[in-house]
Structure 1
Amino acid sequence: MVDVKKATILAVDDTTTNIEVVKGILSQDYLIQAALSGKMALKIIEKRQPDLILLDVMMPEMDGYQVCQQLKSQDSTKDIPIIFLTAKVQEDDETKGLALGAVDYITKPISPAILKERVKNHLLLKASRDLMERQNEILEERVIERTNQLAELQDVAMVAMGALAESRDPETGNHIRRTQHYVRVLAQALAKIPKYQQQLTPEVITAMYKSAPLHDIGKVGIADSILLKPGKLTEEEFEIMKKHAAYGRDAIVAAEKSIEVADNFLTFAKEIAYSHHEKWDGTGYPEGLTAEDIPLSARLMAIADVYDALISSRVYKPAFSHEKAVSIISKGRGSHFDPNMVDCFLTITGEFNAIALRFLDQD
């Protein structure tokens, strides 16, 4: 049971005799404060809130109803229980008091037994409500904390799985970190176009950002002799290399089957892994999809992936400058890349360059 002993009670009455009566009944169990007017009561409450207020109705200048109304109108004091103590015995008077937010209405002369029990019961109710609210706050805090932890673990898992694939090709370095940031800033720019506003909500963009590290997860299924070949691949080798898109999709499909609830980031991860090598004009792989038949997430990833490949050094080519990479992507507008995305990309090339410098590969 909640302990309400030594709770603070404010007795408000313009007659000192009535204050003394209340003290005589309750002071053994509670700390009693006193106010001889409504204005004095408000000043006391402003400095230190009591746990319960015993409030006379008929007082000069500011009556009990006015005091109650003012306290209930303020968020900081609206939850303090108020019990009216009054000689007014009409039903309308009691109804008015309860309508203003008082929890009880006790008529004078005061019965000590009734006052004790009602004060005790209302303090218990308040203590129980406070405890429940605090427990709810703690629960909400724990849910938020746990949700944040799970989100962080999810992010770490995605990056780790992406890094596992990238580790097969040591030259890629910070590629997965750069590309996921490219995807986010490009999606945010595209979201400003009315056509894409409903598709690219902040939640969707976050899910795409989280799923981007898995774009080349299928590389784990490609033999080192092909994946790490320093020169140009033969046609046969390139056909094998192209299978990494399907390998990645199939790995994510298998992961989806292990959870009961569909998750956006896995859906986008599957789209990105399988379709980010498709081209706007249909000359890409693995399906030869064209235009908007290519998933939006994969079209975003295509620009991010190609830009980063262009500015990165490989055993078979030097790193291109940012300016040359921008020029190449611009020339691919409407053939390799979604025209709208290229237009957006050209407005934020500075952000791409900043990301590249932030996650620069170290020799």
Structure 2
Amino acid sequence: MSASMRQKRVLVVDDDRLNRKLLHGMLANLGHDVVQAESGQEALDLLNESIDLVMLDVMMPRMDGLACCRAIRADKRFAELPVIIVTTLSSREDRLKAVEAGANDFIAKPIDLMEVRVRTASLLKMKESRDAVRRYQDDLEEMVRVRTQALELALDNLREQRKSTVTAYQDAIHCLCSAAEFKDEETAQHIIRIGKMCSLLGSRLGLSRDEAELLLHAAPMHDVGKIGVPDAILLKPGKLTAEEWPIMQRHASIGARILGQSASELLQAGAIIALSHHEKWDGSGYPGGLSGTGIPLYGRICAVADVFDALTSRRPYKEPFSVDSSLDIMRKGRASHFDPEILDLFFANLDDILAIKDAFRDEPLPA
């Protein structure tokens, strides 16, 4: 049954039994369910959210009607519950006190049925409207809560799917890079070190967290173009001839072509690094002979990390240099091979660079 159709419950509070009986008869005749209390405290004990209206006598022992009305209003559940004061008091001052206590209306004794009908009908209609608004608000809040939960669940699922997709994407790229590195007899640890070193340098250079994260995953692609270099040249233990060297240099362009076919921000960054990490500050690098800040920033960062790692690692054509020897070689390349600002930053963060090298060191070759 809807709230508007159900029988209304009226709490009648009066210490006089005859007055209660009279009001009970009138209200029952109007179709209401009547609850009786003979004191203010009993009324408070009986009061609950099923009550639609309180008719409250003023002159009662111990707790009078005004004190009872104030107690009703003190409970936030009944802050808007209609209260009618039934009283013989009729002065302006008495009525003001009743209003201050929280009363909505007055009925004077002796009680008149027509007055009871009109005043109760008005206040019950007001409560019915307020209850309808409150139910609508509650329903709206519940709908918002349910839809918010559904949206959050959908977003969580989307984030998980995206995370899984990105992870699979990065794994595929890592495998591609590893294939190139293994072909060159380098290691998977090498590409991890390059990514972490480049990300560190980018972060310390002031790049955003997102850009540093991009470098972490894009820098390992720097030598992916070695897949396209013949093994006889790539794995040659000695110095390359004048004819072989241009073929070896093609790996930068090959890598850029492989990666540049995708619209992915990550692969586009990898293509830039692949193409530019062998360029030199003084313009003597390859494949484009770029110089200074004409070399993309990601390529300049990778050049420093890659040379350091190459110097300190074993290659088919050399044994690893010591860290001190490698650092001396790199110092000599300041402002000729390397961007001086990035090289200075490399040395300023050398402890962290060496920590990365130590954490991801190459596994010893089998005996």
Structure-2-length-normalised TM-score: 0.67
Q: Give per-residue Cα distances to partners, 1:166-194, cap 9 Å, x unaligned.
A: 12122344111111111011112222xxx
For 1:59, which of 62, 70, 78 is the aligned residue? Answer: 70
Which of 260, 269, 272 pairs up with 1:253?
260
Residue 271 of structure 2 corresponds to 270
Q: Which runs of 4+ in 1 moved over 3 A?
A: 14-26, 58-64, 106-123
Counterpart in the other structure of 2:340: 339
Closer/same/farther in 2, CA of residues 110 and 342 from structure 1, 3 Å limit: same
Of 216, 222, 227, the residue aligned with 1:220 is 227
Q: Residues 234 and 83 (structure 1 numbering): CA distance in 2 closer, same or farther, change over 3 Å?
A: farther
Corresponding position of 2:246: 239
Q: Does 1:312 align with 2:313?
A: yes
Which of 160, 184, 198 is residue 145 of structure 1 equivalent to?
Answer: 160
Q: Give the Cα separation in 2 of the matches to 1:158 and 1:172.
A: 15
Identity in percent: 32
Secondary structure of the 1:59 match is helix
TM-score normalised by the chain length of structure 1? 0.67
CA distance in 2, matches of 1:22, 1:110: 19
**Which amino acid in the other structure matches residue 349 of structure 2?**
I
Q: Deviations over 1:287-310 (max 9, x none)?
A: 110100000000000011100100
Give distance in 1, aligned partners of 2:176 and 2:42.
76
Q: What SS does the aligned partner of 1:204 have?
A: helix
Query: Contact conserved, 2:235 with 2:316, CA < 8 A, in 1?
Result: no
**Shift, 1:16, TM fit:** 6.0
Name 2:328's counterpart in structure 1: 327
Provide closer, same or farther for how the CA distance between residues 269 and 107 of structure 1 changes in structure 2, counting only shifts above 3 A: farther
1:134 matches 2:149: yes
Give the letter for the 1:140 counterpart: L
Task: For 2:223 and 2:186, locate their aligned partners in 1 and report how far apart those are by CA, in whole Å.
Answer: 14
Moved more, 149-158 or 276-285: 149-158
Matches within 5 A, 1:137-216: 137-191=152-206, 200-216=207-223
Q: CA deviation at 1:60?
A: 5.1
- What is the deviation of 1:157? 2.3
Counterpart CA distance in 2 for 1:165 and 1:361 is 16
- The aligned counterpart of 1:290 is 291
**Aligned equivalents of 2:188, 2:290: Cα separation in 1:** 30
Provide the secondary structure at the position in 2 that maps to 1:156.
helix
Q: Give the structure with higher Rg (CA).
A: 2
Whole-Å Cα distance in 1 between the matches of residues 284 and 327 of structure 2?
Answer: 21
Q: Note if 1:84 corresponds to 2:103.
A: no
CA deviation map 1:330-357 (0-9, x unaligned): 1110000000011101111111111111
Counterpart position of 1:124: 139
- Give, as a single letter, the amino acid of the residue that structure 2 aligns with 1:218: G
Separation in structure 2 between the aligned mates of residue 119 and residue 20 of structure 1, nearest angstrom: 23
Structure-2 separation of matches of 1:155 and 1:25 = 65
Q: Is the 8 A contact 1:25 1:116 kept in 2?
A: no
C-alpha contact 1:310 1:325 (8 A) present in aligned 2? yes
Deviations 1:139-190 (A, max 9, x none): 2322332332233223222211211211212234411111111101111222
Counterparts of residues 34-113 of structure 1 (less than 5 Å): 59=70, 63=74, 84-87=80-83, 108-109=123-124
Task: Tell me if the contact between 2:223 and 2:251 (Cα under 8 Å) persists in the aligned partners.
Answer: yes
Residue aligned with 1:235, SS: coil
Amino acid of the structure 1 residue aligned with 2:225? G
Which gives a bigger RCO, structure 1 or 2 (Cα 8 Å, sep 6+)? 1
Deviations along 1:41-84, one digit per CA (max 9) or x if unpaired, are xxxxxxxxxxxxxxxxx6359857xx69xxxxxxxxxxxxx983
